[in-house]
Structure 1
Amino acid sequence: MTTPENIQLAIPEQLHRGLKNRHLQLLAIGGAIGTGLFMGSGRLVSVAGPSIIFVYAIIGFFVFLIMRALGELLLSNLGYKTFGDIAKDMLGPWAGFFVSWNYWFSWVIACVADITAIAAYCQFFWPQLPVWIPALAAAALLLLLNLQPVKWFGEMEFWFAIIKIVAILALLGAGVVLLITGFTHNGVQASISHLWDIGGMFPHGLSGFILGFQMGVFSFIGVELVGTAAAETEDPRKNLPKAINSIVARIMLFYIGSLVVIMSVIPWSELQAGKSPFVQMFLLAGFVPAALVMNLVVLTSAASSANSGVFSGSRMVFGLAKDGHAPRKLSFTDHRGVPTRAVLFTAVLLFSAVPLLFAGDNVATAFDFVSTMCATLVLFTWGSIVVSYIVYRRRYPERHKASRFKMPAGRVTPWLILGFFVFLLVSFLYSEATRWATIATPIWFALLAIFWQSRKRKLIREGRPLTSSIPTIT
């Protein structure tokens, strides 16, 4: 007898390549511009002052190298669908299990934080609206969007990215005009000299500079989405290198350029940690309508980040299910190539943001805790890419030699990146605000280790391989 279950089982378990070049390019840009830049940069400026420019430049440099390593790995074998596939192929089944589940978890908690932020942003426009209503609506909308074919995800992120790009370009244009015309606020004239004339570029010394790296890493979470989307991208050999190589220009313009303009128009000491410096600049300049629009942009940025998180997390769970590392039913796709059950499994956890909103004044503290944990977890993900690259060079020297998209200075840079990660972990432990979240993170990995042993025994008992095979497509 034909049942809904049998119908579902008959559907091929394959993702469709529905993302076009323009989707991938804008996804790469959108992944590099998120809530961390629009909102988190206010806190960063308050602790690091103008040295935040160097913080973003340093993190951006290493992120670019990580993405180059990821790009070479993905193009060395088009059978790789995610960096979880790369980890299990290069490091073993356990690594694929840990990397994929870790990345899924990091996006789930980031999405919960984004939905919490969406509820807070909505209060700017509707102060009397109960916060649980926009949170519930956002979670439901994200679920609906991700149940559509991947091309719809690409279209949504395409337009989300366009909005963010236009907003930042508008800010850059307005800031340049204010500098040229000698805009004055509270007797202080706009000048690029504000970057160094208020306590220098390191007003809080080395400690402030180090503290800036904590939220700085969170700002870049999502840039690796290009790698997650590669499995659903048309002509990845042509489009993936373009997206990755443009990262440096994006960081220079969107991160460094925008903050240089903001701190030139408004002395960094006047920026408030809990508010978006983008909104503050327009308000202080008297552009109230522009400030309202920027608040709307910040709102859509949080929605974009959460949308990307559901997409990426569901694809990780889909891969885990195909490997036998998650329930088999999560590996089903519908006739459009959408992993519907993986989407439902991931998105349903977003509704946990609703009770979180009733934490009252503790929400801000919870957001700091979550953002730090996300930053720590993503270091593990990025680290797996780097270690996999080291193994790849040793195991497949012929692939590396034939690669047309090599990582720069591939013998040395992976070790520099790993050394930088050690510095970042030390910086997370440096401040009490981020120390406990960093210390709590190993608990998650301990739970993963227990879960892995359980799944491993089950697979062995059933006579199944510890992971699925990866086809070699060169």
Structure 2
Amino acid sequence: MSNSISGQGALAPGFKQRHITMLSIAGIIGAGLFIGSGHAIAVAGPAVILAYVMAGALVILVMRMLGEMAVASPDTGSFSTYADKAIGPWAGFTIGWLYWWFWVLVIPLEAIAAAAVLNSWFPGIETWFFAFGITAFLTVTNLFSVAKYGEFEFWFAMLKIVAIIAFIALGAAVLLGFVPERSASGISQLISTHGGFMPNGFGAVIGALLTTMFSFIGTEAVTIAAAESKDPARNIAKATKSVIWRICLFYLASIFIIVSIVAWNDPLLPVQGSYQRALELMNIPHAKAMVDMVVLVAVASCLNSAIYISSRMVFSLSKRGDAPKMLGKTSRQGVPFMAVLASTAIGLITTALNFFAPTEVFNFLLASSGAIALLVYLVIAVCQLRMRYRLERSRQPIKLKMWMFPVLTWLVIVFILGALTTMVVLPAHRGEVSATALLSIVITALGLLNQRKRSNLKGISERSFSSHS
């Protein structure tokens, strides 16, 4: 992919090194960590740490595989482009549109979450007004230039990182007894009270694993963003190598602090969220206000990223002939403005459905994206397996290699297939798999039709050229 700007159809390399670094560090920190982790802890107890370890290990391996491909061939379409090359055009079409749909649905989810926080501060203003307002504002910031988006995300990410590090430092100080005026249950809560480390059995850990895996979705987006920087290969390699300590610090350390302070069966845990409940038990004043501010920043960041990622994916699809040609247009600043506007428009429509349509409609749309993250990871693993063999046959130097290839790649594939099978078995997740499968079948059928159409047009063009020559 060319990173130079031509004014029509080319993206500008507007991201600076610090933008990519901060995006890679805080890209996985969303409302799922600050609020959603409370539900996972309530299901699995202190053993939720195992669920986060397994989910984190999966993401680390997937990012290593994606990094290998992205360093060899940086592209704003990322794994969708690699699926096109490694599996077939129908696969690139299908996974690209599924991923776009996933992030388009993130837009209303984060907008609604942000609106709820703002409505609690200003109850006289309707929630839907805040939801549409914040989406419109962040859409405008995405239309200026990729550097402006990078600057917004840089400061959003900085605030999230500072908040999490401050929480971990405070929690550790309280647990170690360095803050005598504050109280906490202590690490003994992990193993000896409230039913021990695994109060609900290993099955509950697997159930929590399915929840925690979706907290990490978005990590792979740094390979999309790095394609709009001046040195994409170097930035991608650096980002994928740092994913291990990011997960260990931000997820595992903070979850360890929380389960050491908050009892897993605390009735307020899933209601208030894990961070707020932990701060309250440490007798920290204004805990709700502080967490609300951090959550607002986190969801605004995720909403901003959702607009960016969905627009770049559909832009890439357009450049490959898998989406309307108009979505491949760029502004003078190298911004795919039509892709941004189209993605946001669909996001706004789904937001409106949440407020003004029957609840079942919005719930079905959300269910349709329930297993997309796992499908994306599966496609990345299959693509890396096939592209690695091609790279080795071509004797092309591989600058960033997957560990223990092909053993770990096959292990990831088996693990993901096992997770999808588990989702089918568990009633709570069966609807998500069914809805995602239905959506995947429809998009795959459209992809095959699109591939046939392109083949026919190519054949007509070749015959026309032959007859004229």
Structure-1-length-normalised TM-score = 0.89
Change (3 A) 1:29 1:228: same
Matches within 5 A, 1:303-382: 303-351=300-348, 352-358=350-356, 373-382=368-377
In the TM superposition, residue 153 of structure 1 has moved relative to its aligned partner by 1.1
3-state DSSP of counterpart to 2:67: helix
CA distance in structure 2 between the partners assigned to 1:373 and 1:424 by the alignment? 17
3-state DSSP of counterpart to 2:215: helix
2:26 is the counterpart of 1:30: yes
CA distance in structure 2 between the partners assigned to 1:410 and 1:99 by the alignment? 24
In the TM superposition, residue 382 of structure 1 has moved relative to its aligned partner by 1.4
- Deviation per residue, 1:220-269 (Å, 9 max, x gap): 01011111112102212322222111111111111111111122122222
Counterpart of 1:391? 386
Counterpart of 1:472? none
Change (3 A) 1:55 1:370: farther
Is contact 1:221–1:375 with CA below 8 Å preserved after alignment? no
Change (3 A) 1:266 1:410: same
In the TM superposition, residue 205 of structure 1 has moved relative to its aligned partner by 0.4
CA distance in structure 2 between the partners assigned to 1:422 and 1:168 by the alignment? 33
2:163 is the counterpart of 1:167: yes
Is contact 1:84–1:96 with CA below 8 Å preserved after alignment? yes
CA distance in structure 1 between the partners assigned to 2:390 and 2:448 by the alignment? 27
Change (3 A) 1:185 1:348: farther
Is contact 2:65–2:402 with CA below 8 Å preserved after alignment? yes
Is contact 2:111–2:300 with CA below 8 Å preserved after alignment? yes
CA distance in structure 1 between the partners assigned to 2:221 and 2:15 by the alignment? 13
Counterpart of 2:246? 250
Equivalent of 2:110, from 92, 111, 114?
Answer: 114
CA distance in structure 1 between the partners assigned to 2:401 and 2:84 by the alignment? 21
CA distance in structure 2 between the partners assigned to 1:278 and 1:80 by the alignment? 35
Farther off after superposition, 331-340 or 286-295: 286-295
In the TM superposition, residue 401 of structure 1 has moved relative to its aligned partner by 6.4
Equivalent of 1:425, from 405, 420, 423?
Answer: 420
Counterpart of 1:6? none
Is contact 2:7–2:333 with CA below 8 Å preserved after alignment? no
Matches within 5 A, 1:56-455: 56-78=52-74, 81-181=77-177, 189-197=184-192, 198-270=194-266, 271-351=268-348, 352-358=350-356, 373-397=368-392, 402-455=397-450
Number of matched pairs: 453
CA distance in structure 2 between the partners assigned to 1:51 and 1:355 by the alignment? 37
Is contact 2:167–2:254 with CA below 8 Å preserved after alignment? yes
Change (3 A) 1:12 1:464: farther
- Deviation per residue, 1:31-58 (Å, 9 max, x gap): 2211211111010000011111111111
Is contact 1:164–1:301 with CA below 8 Å preserved after alignment? yes
Change (3 A) 1:247 1:370: farther
3-state DSSP of counterpart to 1:311: helix
Amino acid at match of 1:256: L
Change (3 A) 1:273 1:426: farther
Q: Output the aligned Cα RMSD.
A: 2.5
In the TM superposition, residue 399 of structure 1 has moved relative to its aligned partner by 6.0
Is contact 2:40–2:48 with CA below 8 Å preserved after alignment? yes
- Deviation per residue, 1:419-461 (Å, 9 max, x gap): 1102221332343332212111111012212322442344344
Amino acid at match of 1:355: L
Is contact 1:42–1:276 with CA below 8 Å preserved after alignment? yes
Q: Percent of pairs identical after alignment?
A: 34
- Deviation per residue, 1:343-396 (Å, 9 max, x gap): 111011121213303469x59x967x7666534101111111111111112222
Amino acid at match of 1:407: M
Farther off after superposition, 177-186 or 34-43: 177-186
Counterpart of 2:37? 41
**What 5-or-longer segments of structure 2 have no aligned partner?**
1-5, 462-469
CA distance in structure 2 between the partners assigned to 1:223 and 1:168 by the alignment? 17
CA distance in structure 1 between the partners assigned to 2:460 and 2:90 by the alignment? 12
